Structure 1
Amino acid sequence: MATSPAWASPGAHGPNGEHLDGPSTSAQGSGAVPRMEAKSEDFELVARLAGGEFTMMINRFATGEPVLSAQIEVESGAHKVRVPFHKDLGDYATDDEALLKLLATPGAHPVVITIVAGSDSDLLEGTLNVTTEAAKAFVPGGHDHGHAHGDDDHDHGEHHWARKPITWILGFAGLAALGWGVARWRSKDALTAKQQGDA
């Protein structure tokens, strides 16, 4: 993610408070990450084809509030897949092989996204424009996104790389505390021995 171009989440607004409209892919450079935007009266989203996945950030259109844990399906061509929500990054992502193979070919790909969030549901449509250069750069299955796939609920607790530094810090803190305790114990023993020798 650090090496990818930054991408605005839905709900981003212009200088006059207006919502970001229309697909931004028309202004992409040849090396840009394929990206599309779509909106309706209820929802807006930004989607990208990067990091070996097709990912989406979804917000409420009126408030910019993130839509979390919704039921999402993506359809393009003959392929329709359910896209799980990822708690670690707050987005929706799929690495479905057939869908990625289709989307990663050069050209304009119509995409229909079904959103069911509580009692609200909607269909959003957009077009993902993929250049030849972007198609060559995209590697299906190259998960730099931080997701570990294979479970249904995608609660990535022990798999997410961001949690590892916390484990390391706690480990080092424990070792430091243990070392301090041993040093204090040895110092106390040395003092006791010295006092007994003086006596």
Structure 2
Amino acid sequence: MKRIPIIAWLCCVTLTAHAAPGAHGPNGEHLDAPATVAGAATTLPVIEANTEGFELVGTLHEDELSVLVDRYDTNEPVTTGTLDVELGTIKAQSKMHHDIGDFSFTDPKLLAALRQPGDHALVFTLVTGNDTDLIEGKLAVAPGTDSHGHRQLGRVAWFVAALLAVLLLIAILWRIRARRSIS
């Protein structure tokens, strides 16, 4: 029976373990994400805020901050009017997507600021019909999250994986050399 050197075995096990996280299934779902009852959970940064009159949910995508607004008491979607946002000195106006019913912020300065890791205090100004409201909320962006919401694998992890691959190659070459010297 042939024996595999312990180093080679450890390298194979470690590389296999590092290959699994972040894998995607046939429908693009994350195989390493916990299962949810309502379907695939988003890892994109989300803001939820409300006042006595309105509530909003916003999601930071790669190319926009998409915000859904509804009336707090009735959950009736707000699809008319204007929605503006302030982040420090940055002010931006939204465009309404009537097909989806969301307000879309695409201002490059706003999006660049929101992509920075940290907690971003946002103040939304909603004007619809005779109603006006200020809605304050916080968008938390975790360090190491890319624009698709995936956690980025750090350089250290890539270095460790490459080092283990080199060690595996050395172990295999060492084993081949040892066999040749016996023959």
Superposition CA RMSD, Å: 2.4
Contact 1:74 1:113 in 2 (8 A): yes
The answer as to 2:55 corresponding to 1:63 is no
Please tell me the residue identity of whatever aligns with 1:55.
Answer: S
Q: 1:45 to 1:4 in 2, by over 3 A?
A: farther
Cα-to-partner distance string for 1:12-57 (whole Å, 9 max, x where unaligned): xxxxxxxxxxxxxxxxx9x821001110111000011014110100
* Counterpart for residue 113 of structure 1: 124
- Structure 2 gaps, min length 5: 1-26, 31-40, 150-183
State the partner residue of 1:32: 43
- Assess if the C-alpha contact under 8 Å between 1:52 and 1:138 holds in 2: no
Q: Taking CA–CA contacts closer than 8 Å with sequence separation of 6 or more, which of the two structures ends up with the larger relative contact order?
A: 2
- Describe the superposition over 1:154-190 as per-residue Cα deviations: whole angstroms up to 9, x where unpaired: xxxxxxxxxxxxxxxxxxxxxxxxxxxxxxxxxxxxx
CA distance in 1, matches of 2:84, 2:111: 14
Using the alignment, how far apart are the partners of 1:130 and 1:4 within structure 2? 21
* Secondary structure at the counterpart of residue 137 of structure 1: coil
Residue in structure 1 matching 2:147, options 116, 137, 145? 137
Alignment-derived partner of residue 35 in structure 2: none
For 1:124, the equivalent position in structure 2 comes to 135
Matched, 1:90 2:125: no
- Distance in 1 (CA, whole Å) between partners of 2:137 and 2:107 is 19
Q: Distance in 1 between the 2:148 and 2:64 partners? A: 9
**Inter-partner Cα distance in structure 1 for 2:126 and 2:79:** 11
Quickly say closer, same or farther: Cα 1:39–1:32, change in 2 above 3 A: same
Q: How many residues matched?
A: 113
Say whether the 8 Å CA contact 2:61–2:147 is kept in structure 1: no
Most deviating of 31-40 and 95-104: 31-40
Letter in 1 for 2:48: E
Change (3 A) 1:80 1:132: same
Identity of aligned residues (%): 36
2:64 pairs with 1:53 = yes
Paired AA for residue 64 in structure 1 = N
Offset at 1:4? 8.7
Does the Cα contact within 8 Å between 1:104 and 1:138 map onto a contact in 2? no
* Runs of 4+ with deviation above 2 angstroms: 2-5, 136-139
SS in 1 for 2:111: helix
> What TM-score results when the alignment is normalised by the length of structure 1?
0.53
Q: CA deviation at 1:84?
A: 1.3
Letter in 2 for 1:82: Q
- Asked if the contact 2:45–2:59 (Cα under 8 Å) also holds between the matched residues in 1, the reply is yes
